Structures are given as C-alpha cells and as structure tokens.
Chains A and B, each alone.
Chain A
Amino acid sequence: MSTRVSEIAPTAPPVVRRRRSIEGGWKQITINRAFLLPAIVVFIFLFIIPLGQGFYWSLTDFTGYSTDANFIGFANYAEILRDPSMLSSLSFTVLFAVGTTVLVTCLAIPLAVQLNKAFFGRNFVRSLWFFPAVPSMAILGLVWSYILSPLPSGVFNTLLNDWFGIDSVSWLSDNSLARASVILVGVWAQVGWHAVLYIAYLQAIPSEYYEVAKIDGANARQQFFGITLPLLTPAMVISSFLLLTSGLKVFELPYTLTNGGPGFATYTITQSLITSGVGQGRYGLASALAVMFTIVVAIVGFSQLKITSSIGRRFS
C-alpha cells in the first residue's frame, strides 16, 4: 500500500478567480510598482549595463591598459571556439556541476532525515557536517592537495599503506581519479550545508501526515517516498539551482587542488577566463568568454528551473 501526500493532505480551498481590476485603480498600481524601482535600478546598473559593456568589449581587442581598443568583430569568439582546451574546460565544468548537484542532492536528503531525528549530540553532529561549508574552497583545496597527494607520504596513501598494505594511489595524477577527487571534495564541502537547508524544510512538514500514514500502515520507506520526498520538492528546486549555478562557476577548488591538471583534465571555464583572459590583459577575449559563459549558465539555469518546477507540479 502506498500513501501519497496528495491522498492525505487536506483539500485545498477552491481558487476564487479575481477580477483584473484592483481596488484603488491605476494610482494604487503605480504606487505598488514604485516599490519595485530600487530592485529594477539595481538590476539595470549591476547586471544589464555591465553585461552590455562586457558584450561591447568582447568585440574589441581591449587590453585593460588603454581605452583605445579596436573593433575586431567576433574574432575573440572564433578564437575561443578554436581552442581545444576550451572544450576540455567546458566538459569538466558541466561534469562538475551535474556531478556535485546529483551527488549532493542524493546524499543531503537522507543525511537531513537522519539529522532531523532526535539523538544525543545532534546539534554537535549537525555542526560537524556544516563545518566544511565555512572555510573557503581555496583553503579546502590546498588542504586536500596534501591529503590526496599521490606521493607515498600523502595522508590517504600513508593510511592505505599502513592499514591495508596498498601501494600509493595516483589520486591527483591520473585524469579520471583527479576528476573524481575534485568532484568528491566538492560534494564533501557542500553536502552539510544543503542538508541544513533540507532540515529547515523537513521541520515544516506537519507530523500529522506521518501519523495518518502510520495508521494506514505505511512503513518508513513508504513514508519517505510518499510524504517526505514530495514535500521536499521546493527545497530540492532551490538546492539544485544553487548547486548547479555554483558548480558552473567553480574556480577555487580545482585551481588549488589540481591547478586544472593533469593536462586539461580538471580545467574549468572560469579558470580559462581568468588565466587566459584577465591574467594576461586580454580583456576582449575574457569578455567574450564571460558572455558565452553567461549564455550557457542562463540556458542551464532556466532548463533546470523548468525541469524541477514540472517535477514539483507532478508531486503537488
């Protein structure tokens, strides 16, 4: 027997269709909309104008030292698309963003369910899981570079050798292992923070739902899939959106852990933007990269919102 939240949730009140006209007329509408002005101004000045300027500079050979830049059309874009390291950085960036999003979501929800139960030292354990989200990713990357050092003196390799007699593992010097290591450290660093986000939503689920389900004979698994998971959909939308956008912008962790290597195995788009563009005063090229990156992030972000909101509608 399966118990779904839709079956046990109280019936929603009928939606009353309201007329478009609002009390107070156009004057009231204007006043209401005036409250949006600060947000609109901020959006225009901090997003639209810089984006427009970025696009303008992407069509020039602007070096950052002189405003006498020459218009060179889409040459910067062509150079980026010809660069094989760009394809590598794009593929790893997407792999990192999708990998961390899926893994963190799969781990943070069960972790949140466990941390939401009453047990001795619960707050301490919650803090322990949350702690990796406090230091910057750059510091975590440096620390993990010593832990995952492929040398026999690396922390993991020493433990493997001392405890199991296993030879040194090339954690960061093998392409596949290096990619996996960066993703797993990223997951480790973020899973606690997202578990706390899920705990907040878990605590908003009325306990009556579980009581009714128990009366109906639902076991723990059925309660999780029938009540908990559907009611966590809004949290999943927020969490996965945050994970995906931060994953696409990832820079510090792979930069400090592997410096984009070996080869271009863990090279990211933002690293490419900073080292190939800003780092050598090729602001035109960096702007082109930023414009392309914004488009990719927008496409991925909107797609993710569309997918998760349709999943949310199915469960609601």
Chain B
Amino acid sequence: MKSRTLRAVALVAGASLALVTAGCSAGSASDDGSTTISFLSWTGQEQMKPILEAFHEEHPEVTVKASYSPPVAEYIQTLQTRVLSGTAPDVFVIAAENKTNLIDSGAVIDLADEPFMDGVQEFNLDTYGRDGARYGLSLSSWAAGYAYNKDMLAEVGYDGIPETWDEFLKMLKALKDAGHTPFLESVDQLPTTVSAMLGAKTSEMEPSLDEQIFSGDSTFEDEWTPILEEYNKLFTEDLVSSDVVALDGDQVRDEFANERVAIINAGPWIINAVQEANPELNWAFGQVPGLADGKPYQAGAAAPGYAISAKSDEAKQKAAKTFLGWLASEDGVEMFHEATNDVTVTENFEPQVNPVFESMVEPIRGGELYLPMISWQRKEDLLNVEVVAQIQRMIQGQISAEEVAAALDAKLAGS
C-alpha cells in the first residue's frame, strides 16, 4: 500500500515536472530554427496586433508572444514583478518611470551598437541611455504646448500665440477685457509652461541645467526661481484664476472644446476628443512663448522605448533584435505610426499628423523637447510630487517662487 502511494506521488511529481518543462520550453529556440520570444506591450492589443502580424509575415522564423498591460502604473508594476521573479519578458518597454531601476539592476542590454538604432533621433536614444550605452529603441516623441481658439484670438487682434511671454500676457489681458476666460492650465502635473520655459533655458546651457543641479554646481533656487516668478505673473496679475489648482487635463480640455476658454495647455491626446465634441471649432496648437532671454519651446519627451531583457538567452536576444530591427525599418515605423498616431522620429519615414498639430511636428522631430521628470537624474517621482504641490501653494499665494525652488533643493538634499 505504502509503496503504491509512493509510486503515485512519484508519477504525479514526474508529470508535473514534464508539464513545467514543457511550459518553460515555450519561448526558446526550436529544432526547426524558429524562435519564440515573449513581449510585454505597453500599447494596446488592437493597435499592436497588426504590427506583430506584419512582422511575423516578414520574419516567420520569429514568433512574438505578446501580453498586454496598460500604462503607466499597472505596466510598471507588472514588469517589475516579472523582472524580480526571474520571468522577465524578452522584449518590454523602458519608460521614464522605470528606466533608472531597470538600468541600475542590469535588467536590460545595451543596444548602442545595433544598426537599427542608427536612424533614430539622438534625443530619443539619449533619453534611455547612460554613459554612452543605449537601452531603449524609442520610435516617437510627444510634445505639449498651447491649444488656442483662433476666433477668440482674432477678436483681440492676434493670429496665433505670440513669441514672447510679455506679449502673451498682454494678449491674455486683452482677451479678459473682451469678456473671455483667457487661459486655463491644469496644475495636476508640472505646468506645461514651466517645463517649456525650462526647456528653452537648458537648450542654451552646456552642461545642461539638470546636470548642473544634480552635480551640485547649481541649485533649483538659482535656475528655477526666475522662471517660476514669470509663470506666477499669470496669477499675481489676475489673468488666470487660482482655481486651476483643482483642475485636471480633461476638465480644461472640456472647457476649451465648449469654447469657454481661449487658450489651454495641451498635447496631441486632446485632438480626437475636441474634434468629436466640437467639430466646428477653429483651433490650432502653438509653442509656449519665450522669456526675454529665451525662445518659444515646448514640453515633451521621447516615447517609451523597446528594451531587451539581459536575462534572455542568446537565441532569444538575437530574435528580439530581429524584431526591434524590423520595428525600426521603414515598414515597421509606418505601421507603428498608423496604429498609434504617434509622431515618429526616425529618418526613414515622414509622419502625417492632424493639421491642427502641424506646427509642433518640426520641434518634435528636431528633439526640441524637455520634461524635467525625465531629465532629472534621481528621485524623479519624489521631486515631481513635491514640485506640483509647491507650485499649487505658490498659485494660492501661500509661498513665493523662491520657496518653491528651495523646497526642491531640500527634497533633493534629503537623499
């Protein structure tokens, strides 16, 4: 009886082992030369499926088994759990939120020498790189500036967003005097205006603004205070209501679509919603005006890049590179653009965008973008939470621009 039980246990254990082994074999190279790789996609299944099918048609020797997780928090959490448990996908997305941890933990391989990285905008490669190494293939970028109601601006004698901040403030006053709400900018994130003005400043600096701050050669107080003071004029000169501290991007967008405000901060993600809500709206995008010593600029960043797991075996890494190589090819980029509507930044393909967004394409493809959170070298989320809260307090008149910047210095020093 006892030995029979033992035999049964051994049989079950053996069968389980066989099943586990069979399960593990999915994704490794087969005898017929084909390879299956796993891919955790940030982009939705509906958009990604035709891209994967087109890839498999051209490269039948590589099968991509995709799983999907929506951005951002859920994706980061799913990927982190899989990396920690030793089941990282062969190809996954490296984003601003996880790049430091992925690079520090050695979870991604260096793609700097891969030929498919050659035609990609340097700005995108640098975003997911460190010390000469490149860890992510980022095919597109996004930018945010101002969306403006052409009719309202024309009413006060303007045909677009002025190039200088002082002129912009004058225009807001004219709009207010004409009975319009001139400008709304959601402050649930770092304001687009502040990011763009900092971007214009750092583009003229060598080493960059953040390199100087994070190396200790400069401080937030020195670099940020003048810009925050200019931004705060929106509220101290009573051009914009301090109620913006309680608004999110969707509420601001709805106000704009319903023609209750002349100008808002926005990016390409509002285009479909605004055109659906108000197809007759006469509107366009413009850059954030420059300060006296600056130039018009925009907030923005490189889209998350595709990375290859350092834990994958050689055959799978090779297959993963084939996949990334195809994604970066003309056909791949074109399909990617058609599926996602992203503004792609490779040399081999010229994206077509919605006419209202046309003025932003050149700066995007030229890499004239800046987002502090991506450029910061450590404590990104902590600083981001702090700066949003402190700017909200400044808008409410509780603290000065200098105190906002000093709070960031204090947060950075608290490592």
Contact surface of A with B, Cβ cutoff 8 Å: 63-67, 79, 82-83, 85, 145-146, 149-151, 153, 168, 170-175, 178, 258-264, 267, 275-276, 278-281
Contact = CB atoms under 8 A, between A and B. Distances in A.
Given A82-B414, A263-B389, 17 more contacts: A63-B101, A63-B105, A64-B84, A64-B101, A65-B104, A67-B84, A85-B386, A146-B251, A149-B251, A150-B246, A168-B243, A171-B246, A261-B388, A262-B396, A279-B73, A281-B100, A281-B101
Interface in B386-408: 386, 388-390, 392-393, 395-396, 398
B401 to A, nearest CB: 15
Contacts of B76: 279
B188 interface: yes
A229 to B, nearest CB: 40
Contacts of B260: 153
A23 to B, nearest CB: 38
Contact of B381 (A146, A149, A175, A276): A276
Contacts of A65: 80, 83-84, 101-102, 104-105, 107
Kindly list the 7 A-B residue pairs having the minimum CB-CB distance in the complex, ordered from nearest: A280-B381, A172-B246, A150-B243, A173-B246, A65-B105, A263-B393, A66-B105
A261 B382 contact: no
A173 B241 CA distance: 10
A82 B410 CA distance: 10
Contacts of B248: 145, 259
B278 to A, nearest CB: 14
B380 A149 contact: no
B61 interface: no
B242 interface: yes
Interface of B: 73, 76-77, 80, 83-84, 97-98, 100-102, 104-107, 188, 241-248, 251, 255, 258, 260, 379-382, 385-386, 388-390, 392-393, 395-396, 398, 414
Contacts of A63: 101, 104-105
15 contacts: A65-B80, A65-B102, A65-B107, A150-B246, A150-B247, A153-B258, A170-B243, A173-B243, A173-B246, A262-B246, A262-B392, A263-B398, A280-B97, A280-B381, A280-B382
A280 B380 contact: yes
User: Chain A: interface secondary structure?
Assistant: loop
A85 B414 CA distance: 13
A79 B246 contact: no
B97 A151 contact: no
Contacts of A149: 246-247, 251
B253 to A, nearest CB: 12
B47 to A, nearest CB: 25
Nearest to A67: B84
B369 to A, nearest CB: 22
B147 to A, nearest CB: 17
B398 A275 contact: no
Nearest to B81: A64
A260 B389 contact: yes
Contacts of A276: 381-382, 385
Nearest to B399: A263
Contacts of B104: 63, 65
Contacts of B380: 280
Contact of A275 (B107, B246, B381): B381
Contacts of B390: 263
Contacts of B251: 145-146, 149, 151
B243 A281 contact: no
B261 to A, nearest CB: 9
A151 B247 contact: yes
Contacts of A262: 245-246, 392-393, 395-396
Contact of A281 (B98, B242, B255, B392): B98
Contacts of A258: 246
A64 B97 CA distance: 13
Contacts of B379: 280
Nearest to B258: A153
B408 to A, nearest CB: 13
B300 to A, nearest CB: 21
A63 B379 CA distance: 12
A168 B247 CA distance: 14
A173 B186 CA distance: 12
Contacts of B258: 153
Contacts of A64: 80, 84, 101
B242 A173 contact: yes
